[in-house]
Structure 1
Amino acid sequence: MTARLTSRMTIDALLRRVQAAGGFATVLAKGDETAGAILLVCSERGTTTSLLERTVDLDGHYRWTPCGPQDVESAADRDSYIRRRRAQDPDLWLIELDVADAERFAAEMT
């Protein structure tokens, strides 16, 4: 069995990496410290580019999966999706990354 980082440790590492690269990263909503799901709002220069959620594949490995509305530029649709997800799962972390190629930073943290 492979040891896994807690949600909090994964998020802290991701925040530090993005900030070290000159980007902006923040926790918008806290979830369960140990095993809370993580939803990333990926942005570049203030424009949302994607929503990603950390999921577990069939082999038990983490991966970042696109989620939510495909038109992420629609703030109303995006915000509605996020509100529904938080209502369904109060242990969900909501993290915003504003850095060039935010998806790459997430992929490196799986």
Structure 2
Amino acid sequence: MRVTTDLWVSALLRRVFSDGGFAAIVKRGAGEAGAVFVLCRNRLGEVWLFGPAPQTSYDSARPDDRYFSQLYAGDDAQAIEARLEKEKRFDPDIWVVEIEAGQTPVDELISVTTP
């Protein structure tokens, strides 16, 4: 059984904080099953946006896991805001979580797949 989005996001925030990073919920979506977008920043101003991976990326042996794919990488904050606004218009129940990872790399905090 898949955990609720609210619980999953809480666990992500706790893990980021425990590793010396910072995390905040930018937009709270549907508590039970909202899609999660993760915005990652580093101290050099680089930004990455990760969103739900396509269904073809999911492993049939682990159907309850959450997988993410990289949607953007760079330093243009306006491009990310435009992308998130587009996603919010499509689905107003999305979650947006911003993190600045500490000791643990982002790809270890969330399951990132390549298309």
Paired with 2:80 and 2:41, the residues of 1 have a C-alpha distance of 13
8 Å contact 1:28–1:95 — kept in the other structure? Answer: yes
Q: Deviations over 1:30-70 (max 9, x none)?
A: 10000000000011226343111133445335311112xx4
* 1:4 corresponding residue in structure 2: 2
Structure 2 segments unaligned to the other structure (5+ residues): none
> How many correspondences in the alignment?
104
Q: Give the share of equivalent positions with the same residue, in percent.
A: 24
* 1:65 corresponding residue in structure 2: 69
Change (3 A) 1:94 1:30: same
Aligned to 1:94, which of 93, 96, 102? Answer: 96
Paired with 1:49 and 1:102, the residues of 2 have a C-alpha distance of 12
Report the TM-score, using the length of structure 1 for normalisation: 0.82
Change (3 A) 1:107 1:71: closer
* 1:18 corresponding residue in structure 2: 16
Structure 2 residue 42 is the aligned partner of structure 1 residue 44: yes
Shift of 1:103: 2.7
* 1:83 corresponding residue in structure 2: 85
Structure 1 segments unaligned to the other structure (5+ residues): none
